[in-house]
Amino acid sequence: MSGGGGGGGGGEKGSGTTTTKTPADFLKSIRGRPVVVKLNSGVDYRGFRV
């Protein structure tokens, strides 16, 4: 869901620690950042996560 240049979030491969990330953790991490939501129909919604 990231619009580019910042990795969309999710697991970091190769890290030695195993921390469980929940969807809530991801949403907290992108707070205040620009986001692009792409639907299956091809529609793009752009905005800021507040």
Helix (H) and strand (E) counts for the chain?
Answer: 1, 2
Q: Look at residue 20 in the predicted model and tell me its pLDDT.
A: 87
In the prediction, which pLDDT does 28 show? 93
pLDDT at 5: 52
Alpha carbon distance 1, 7 (integer Å): 9
DSSP-derived letter for residue 40 is T
How much is the pLDDT for 17? 72
Question: Can you give the residue range of the structural domain that contains 44?
Answer: 20-49
Total number of domains constituting the chain: 1
pLDDT tens-digit readout, 4-50: 555 555 555 655 677 888 999 999 999 999 999 999 999 999 999 99
Collapsing DSSP to helix, strand or coil, 35 comes out as strand
